[in-house]
Amino acid sequence: MRITLRLIFSLILAVVGVALISAWFNVRQEREKLYNGARDGSALLAETFKESVRGHLAAGDNQALQKLADKFQYQKQIEGVAIYAPDGALLASSLAIRPFLALNADGLQRQLQAPDSSSELYKDDKREMLVYAASARALGGKPARVLLFTDVSYVAYDLYGIWKRTLLRVLVQTVLITLVTLLVIRWNFVGPLAQLTDWMKKLRIGEAHGNMPLLKGDIFAPIAREATTLARNLQAARSAAQKEARLRQEGESLWTPERLKELIKMKMDGRPLFVVSNREPYMHITEGKEIKAIVPAGGLVTALDPILKAAGGTWIAHGSGEADFEVTDGKNRIKVPPEEPAYTLRRVALTKEEEDGYYYGFSNEGIWPLCHIAHIRPVFRKEDWQYYYDVNRKFCDTVLEEIEGIKEPAVLIQDYHFTLLPAMLKAARPDARVAVFWHIPWPNPETFGICPWQKELVMGLLGADLIGFQTQFYCNNFLDTVDRTIESRIDWEHFSVQKEGHATLVKPFPISVDFSQPDRDTAKLPEKPDPAKVLKDLGIKAEKIALGVDRIDYTKGMLERVKAVERFLEKYPEYVRKFTFIQLGAPSRTHIPQYHRFLAELHAEVDRINWRFKAKDWKAIVFLEKHHDHREITKYYKIADACLVTSLHDGMNLVAKEFVAASDDHRGVLILSRFAGASRDLKDALIVNPYDIEQMADAIYYALVMPKTEVEERMTRMRQQIHENNIYKWAANLTEELMRLRMDEFTGV
């Protein structure tokens, strides 16, 4: 579009320039023509007038001269005449020109003194006058001078008309040239390019095969030939990669998107995968007059989006973006990601009352604090429970619509928002393979017993064929809760529950990240991350940087973390003005009063600490409260000397694994809470108790003074662990386990 506008603008400038230069020469020639015509006419009339006055001049009859002068005024653009004696005295003049004679006396006297005929132009505010001077000689006497006054104001009017007609022609030509140019570009460039782009996009995502379609015109023929060759090579490489993935299925340890895709094809026999979650992977919002797609914050999206990109299928989620339903089809579906469609997103619309009761109420004021031992009292309301039940039913109806006609569909349900959904689905579709992955901790039976609807929640979950938790500890807690809550038979050897002829397998599946994602994010950055430049953009200077990346939530230990930074600066004052802690905080659940209070307290604490250690060009803590995309976060990961992941209680916390994956130069130290699930996997992190401020302060100090070799050794081991146990392996293990189950065992056959 920009190129088209530049081309049209250049053509318009060229046309206007040529037209104006041509008009200028035309006007110049016309001016000379008109003035010369006026001079010639004046000279002819002067000869006629001289013959008429010759006798009167000889007789000295001034009265007759005056009558003759009055007679000659207003004839054929002649304003009048004036007759002067040889000594320059005025003998007679037309009445109409007497004011002009008075105003231009000096100029006229100079013209009278000229020996021959001459013409001069005189201008005033009202008109332009051509004065022609000629000699009239009486018989035997000295020559008198005759002046003819011609009004040539019409010349300017005629020239104005030429300019006006020229500009109108230019306007018409500009419009015609613009239209013709747009048509030419559309026919010869935009059309073929759009055709080429669409074909390449389909080729990239595996929907196009064979040769490139014939493009209109022959201007792109060389490109078409090269693109066809490239396509054949790409298809051959893709086929080879798929074949290799199949051959290495049994023995290869490293999981990739291609290998996961092949496994799902094999295990699911070509059937699509269905994922259900509250949070959607892509949200559409309005910016000005445009609709933009953004990625919401949260570990769930980070984990599952790469899986659906690799495996394809449908993701069913709450459409919470303001413009979400402006871009979907009649069934509320849209292909995502926007730049490279790989799977279908089915959006479910919720009313404000449903969202307040189901999400903000029962899910996040009830289940969330219940499962996170963060000393926040859970709140359970009957009306919230009813909304929670109704929304689970609404999602059940949507899932049933999506899986209609598919034999033994595989449905992967995410997290605590849909505790009732597994049982609802199995009641309607007993043949469906249903798995639930519980991303957050599962508390002990005494804690879970606080919930008035604990039995309904447990029964809802046991409708699934497979329940996955982050750690074995949470599996044990869940089975203990089942044992205390309902009558069932628990097989502790195989970690399964038998209830009403249906068996549910319970296993740990520690979730991970896409190990290669930080490299892709870094490639999209305009330049390599530089600590000095990043700090300069923040208006500060420092030698050492620590980083925190979190949703703003009371379970993430953010208050304890900033207090640990304060204690670190107290104990090690040599780091004042040398060390800065940067906290990236994504706003979350702002409708809940507890989150408002927590955010206000966090801001107050940060301000207090910064005021205490106030210095020019430096801050102890930089709190960046906004949503950051993956590229921005990766930039901060790569400049940090330490990353603090100090959750008070967390199922896994993928920030820890993202930081390790981003450390391609094997630098940086991870300080990790013992109460985060990631501490089971990343044993080379500095494991801390987030409630122990002294221990965290010392951990920060040790991270900054740790020998370089030890930093690299620790990071190398953690990177190897995540490299081998990435998100694709997690998805593969979960899918394999689900598809391995004998469905007759779960239907009572």
- Residue 593: count of CB within 10 angstroms of its CB: 9
pLDDT digits (tens, 9 = 90+) for 83-134: 888 877 888 888 888 888 888 888 888 888 777 788 888 887 677 888 888 8
Average pLDDT, the chain: 86
Closest CA to 436 of 489, 509, 497, 488: 509
Q: Please tell me the distance from the alpha carbon of residue 341 to that of residue 520, in angstroms, as a whole number.
A: 17
Residues of the chain with CATH 3.40.50.2000: 267-508, 531-724
* Residue with the larger pLDDT of the pair 234 and 562: 562
Q: Tokens at residue 572, please?
A: 């090690």
Q: Please tell me the distance from the alpha carbon of residue 630 to that of residue 645, in angstroms, as a whole number.
A: 17
User: CATH class for domain 35-152?
Assistant: alpha beta
Rounded average pLDDT over 542-561: 95
> In the prediction, which pLDDT does 315 show?
97
Has residue 142 got a pLDDT over 90?
A: no
Q: Please tell me the distance from the alpha carbon of residue 567 to that of residue 496, in angstroms, as a whole number.
A: 47
CA distances from 188 to 6, 216, 528, 566 (A): 17, 7, 39, 66
pLDDT digits (tens, 9 = 90+) for 602-618: 999 999 999 999 999 99
Contact 187, 52 (CB under 8 A): no
Has residue 721 got a pLDDT over 90?
A: yes
DSSP 124-186: -SS-EEEEEEEEEEPTTSPEEEEEEEEE-THHHHHHHHHHHHHHHHHHHHHHHHHHHHHHHHI
Q: How far is CA 180 from the centre of its chain?
A: 33
Q: Please tell me the distance from the alpha carbon of residue 8 to that of residue 49, in angstroms, as a whole number.
A: 60
CA distances from 733 to 188, 263, 275, 317, 468 (A): 52, 10, 16, 23, 11
Greatest alpha-carbon span in the chain: 151
Band of residue 709 on the pLDDT scale cut at 50, 70, 90 = very high
For residue 526, cis peptide bond before it (omega within 30 degrees of 0)? no
| H/E segment holding residue 468 | strand 466-469
Q: Tokens at residue 421, please?
A: 């959904």
pLDDT digits (tens, 9 = 90+) for 658-676: 999 999 899 999 999 999 9
pLDDT digits (tens, 9 = 90+) for 297-340: 666 777 788 788 877 899 999 998 899 999 999 999 999 998 88
Rounded average pLDDT over 283-295: 88
CA distances from 20 to 17, 433, 549 (A): 5, 77, 62
Q: Please tell me the distance from the alpha carbon of residue 532 to that of residue 540, in angstroms, as a whole number.
A: 9
Radius of gyration of the chain (CA): 45
Band of residue 748 on the pLDDT scale cut at 50, 70, 90 = very low
> In the prediction, which pLDDT does 747 show?
43
* Residue with the larger pLDDT of the pair 668 and 223: 668
Contact 454, 492 (CB under 8 A): no
Q: How far is CA 53 from the centre of its chain?
A: 89
DSSP 200-252: HHHHHTT---SSPPPPSSSTTHHHHHHHHHHHHHHHHHHHHHHHHHHHTTTT-
Closest CA to 557 of 635, 417, 672, 470: 672
Q: Point out the least confidently predicted range of 216-220, 235-239, 387-391, 444-448.
A: 216-220
**Helical pair 421-428 and 454-461, crossing angle rounded to 10 deg:** 50
Provide the percentage of residues in the chain whose pLDDT is more than 70.
Answer: 89
* Superfamily grouping for domain 531-724: Glycogen Phosphorylase B; (3.40.50.2000)
Residue 271 per-residue DSSP state: P
Residues of the chain with CATH 3.30.450.20: 35-152
Q: Tokens at residue 12, please?
A: 């318009």
The size of the chain, in residues, is 749
Band of residue 234 on the pLDDT scale cut at 50, 70, 90 = low
Closest CA to 50 of 132, 108, 121: 132
Has residue 631 got a pLDDT over 90?
A: no
Amino acid found at 674: R
Q: Please tell me the distance from the alpha carbon of residue 273 to that of residue 277, in angstroms, as a whole number.
A: 13
* Residue with the larger pLDDT of the pair 516 and 709: 709
- Look at the alpha carbons of 217, 222, 223, 229 in this order and tell me if their dihedral is positive or negative: positive
* Superfamily grouping for domain 267-508: Glycogen Phosphorylase B; (3.40.50.2000)
Residues 6+ apart with CB under 8 A from 307: 260, 273, 275, 727, 728, 731
Band of residue 239 on the pLDDT scale cut at 50, 70, 90 = low
Q: Point out the least confidently predicted range of 23-27, 376-380, 441-445.
A: 23-27
pLDDT digits (tens, 9 = 90+) for 144-198: 888 888 888 888 888 888 888 878 887 887 788 778 877 777 776 666 777 777 7
